[in-house]
Amino acid sequence: MRFSGWRVIREGLSGNRGWSPHWRDAAPRDEYDIVIIGGGGHGLSTAYYLARDHGLSNVAVLEKGYLGGGNVGRNTTIVRANYFLPGNSEFYSYSLKLWEGLEQELNYNVMHSQRGLINLFHSDGQRDAFARRGNAMINQGDDAILLDREGVRRHAPFLDFDNVRFPVHGGLYHPRGGTARHDAVAWGYARGADRRGVDLIQNCEVTGIDIGNGRVRSVQTTRGPIRAKKVAIVVAGRSGQVAAMAGMRLPVESHVLQAFVSEGLKPVIAQVIAFGMGHFYISQSDKGGLVFGGDIDMYASYAARGNLPAVEHVMEAGMTLMPMIGKARVLRSWGGIVDMTPDGSPIIDRTDTQGLYLNCGWNYGGFKAVPASGRCFAHLLATDRHHDAAAGFRLDRFRTGRGIIDEEGTGAQHNLH
Amino acid sequence: MRISCPICGERDRREFHYRGAALTRPAPDAGEAAWDAYLHLRDNPAGATRELWYHETGCGAWVVVTRNTLTHEMPGCELAAEAAR
């Protein structure tokens, strides 16, 4: 079933009875070439690119719940390529280019909206840092425009420009940044992988990883054992538990990150806007809800719900930046479990076990990475070589101290990101 | 979430700074693997954990909190200076 404008019209005129399920409900077979543990955005895009780029379709994605039920369905949907450090910047630049062709590629409407992203600055020092970041983005081949105060005002006149503590001095504008419909990204990749023969197996929790002679042999699941030549762990917040099944401890600590959405409103915020003081970022969904979030709660958690101090900080930051937001009512808030690494950057690498691969550590920024993460991880799984765009995301960088990618510059330590 | 400081009593989480898993610091010459494990690698348990918090805006004590990462329950809190290693 291909989607098209013509098809939508035809189905609309015939009672929408012609739509079919987007993927098969596959049952697990006894053996696969590659088993991917985790049916989230990264796992599904990995499966898709394994099939598309490398012709590997004897692949299963094992998901303990339902496809896309984790962080890919819980994030604030921001897509951007405004990273500064080598290692990160080429990767996110590559990812944004994949985003720009994603809907045609998948024949799926992921509602990718390049509405622009503005990172505000509130001091001279912060302006200089953003000017430098903008130059790094331009050098990478991406887009960045340093806006002065009046430039920001043209985009977002509702900000409290003359706030006593945090006046808005300007912003770094990234026109190709924006948002996407997060669930649709998972669904689009799932459908694409399924059409190329990948088995997407839901309600199938991995309970053990069998290793013999230093090589991965099979996985034990709630739906029986499955032999595999290669096993890929792509389980975000649950990376610690799944890696422990293979006898590994990871440089990962799982934290809760909260997000919020207001009741639906008429269009009021055109871009994605990020406060430069306090932790607050906001955009408006196509349904009209203001989608916003802040920092992690700053303690290890698997509770998928947060505490009030983080809520309070987000609300205070929102009110400081755009007092009008006080008129909107919060409709829902929720938490996702994010896999934090010491330097705040991800891991796409082999492990010491032959045939066992790891994709984790996406911290609070995994959504925008979904296309490139899957493509680079598929490349590693298929060829055993790192993809150029993700060559820096090594597992051993903490042990060796080489290649730390500390975007925030706070130090490669667990409680600082 | 509230933490029962052994000195100050039950206080709001805002008064405390989270440090992370309560691990035993290796000897200076323990070697690269021991220091890598101490600095970077984590059990990252879904369930009971022991971790260090600093009562930053209270008495300034370091405390070892026993906490459940699934439920936020905190069955124990003792001074780090007195906690069993």
Q: Is A254 on the interface with B (CB under 8 A)?
A: yes
DSSP class of residue A314 equals: H
Over the stretch A278-296, which tens digit does the pLDDT of each residue have?
A: 899 999 999 999 999 999 9
Angle at A383 between CA A377 and CA A389, to 5 degrees: 45
pLDDT for the residue A415: 84
Q: Is B57 on the interface with A (CB under 8 A)?
A: no
pLDDT for the residue A416: 85
Buried b (16+ CB within 10 A) or exposed e, A349-379: bbbebebbbbbbbbbbbbbbbbbbbbbbbbb
Does the structure show a pLDDT above 90 at A24? yes
CB contact under 8 A, B45 and A240: yes
Residue pair A236/A366 in contact (Cβ under 8 Å)? The answer is yes
Alpha helix segments (H runs only) across A112-246? 124-139, 149-155, 182-195, 239-245
> Looking at the domain that runs over A24-75+183-250+343-416, which CATH code has it been given?
3.50.50.60
CB contact under 8 A, A413 and B21: no
Residue A413 makes CB contacts below 8 A (sequence gap 6+) with A342, B39
Residues in chain B with CB shorter than 8 Å from the CB of A253 are 20-21, 42, 44
Residue pair B13/A309 in contact (Cβ under 8 Å)? The answer is yes
CB contact under 8 A, A300 and B44: yes
Q: How far apart are CA A145 and CA A138, in angstroms?
A: 9
Does the structure show a pLDDT above 80 at A168? yes
Which residues make up the CATH 3.30.9.10 domain(s) of chain A? 110-177+253-340
Bridge partners (DSSP) of residue B66 are B50, B76
Q: What is the mean pLDDT of chain A?
A: 97
**pTM attached to this predicted model:** 0.97
Give the fold, CATH level 3, of B2-79. Answer: Folate-binding fold (3.30.2270)
**How distant is the Cα of B48 from the closest Cα of chain A, in angstroms?**
11
**How distant is the Cα of A305 from the closest Cα of chain B, in angstroms?**
9
pLDDT over 90, % of chain B: 95
Span A111-137, mean pLDDT?
Answer: 98
Span A4-17, mean pLDDT?
Answer: 95
Pick from A408, A373, A290: which is nearest to A41 by CA? A373
Does the structure show a pLDDT above 90 at A315? yes
pLDDT over 90, % of chain A: 97
Does the structure show a pLDDT above 90 at A355? yes
Angle at A371 between CA A243 and CA A388, to 5 degrees: 80
Nearest chain A alpha carbon to B73 = A303
**How distant is the Cα of B42 from the closest Cα of chain A, in angstroms?**
6
pLDDT for the residue A330: 97
Angle at B27 between CA B25 and CA B33, to 5 degrees: 80
Does the structure show a pLDDT above 80 at A105? yes
Regarding an ipTM greater than 0.90, the answer is yes
Does the structure show a pLDDT above 90 at A332? yes
Span A96-120, mean pLDDT?
Answer: 98
pLDDT for the residue B36: 96
Nearest chain A alpha carbon to B31 = A399
Q: How far apart are CA B17 and CA B80, in angstroms?
A: 14
Lowest mean pLDDT among A173-177, A302-306, A327-331, B33-37: A302-306
Which residues make up the CATH 3.50.50.60 domain(s) of chain A? 24-75+183-250+343-416
Residue pair A56/A33 in contact (Cβ under 8 Å)? The answer is yes
CB contact under 8 A, A414 and B37: no
Which among B36, B46, B51 has the least Cβ separation from residue A241?
B46
Does the structure show a pLDDT above 80 at B84? no
Span A394-410, mean pLDDT?
Answer: 95
**How distant is the Cα of A72 from the closest Cα of chain B, in angstroms?**
20
Mutation target among A205, A245, A250, A301 for the B interface, most CBs of B within 10 A: A301
Residues in chain A with CB shorter than 8 Å from the CB of B33 are 399
The 3-state secondary structure of B26-48 reads: CCCCCCHHHHHHHHCCECCCCCE
Residue pair A392/A403 in contact (Cβ under 8 Å)? The answer is yes
Q: How far apart are CA A41 and CA A74, in angstroms?
A: 11
Does the structure show a pLDDT above 70 at B85? no
Q: How far apart are CA A154 and CA A173, in angstroms?
A: 12
Residue pair A359/A42 in contact (Cβ under 8 Å)? The answer is yes
Does the structure show a pLDDT above 70 at A205? yes
Bridge partners (DSSP) of residue B5 are B9
Which among B14, B39, B69 has the least Cβ separation from residue A301?
B69
Does the structure show a pLDDT above 70 at A146? yes
Structurally, at CATH architecture level, domain A110-177+253-340 sits in 2-Layer Sandwich (3.30)
Q: A319 to each of A268, A279, A316, A324, how far by Cα in Å?
A: 15, 12, 5, 7
Does the structure show a pLDDT above 90 at A207? yes
Residues in chain A with CB shorter than 8 Å from the CB of B20 are 253, 300, 414-415
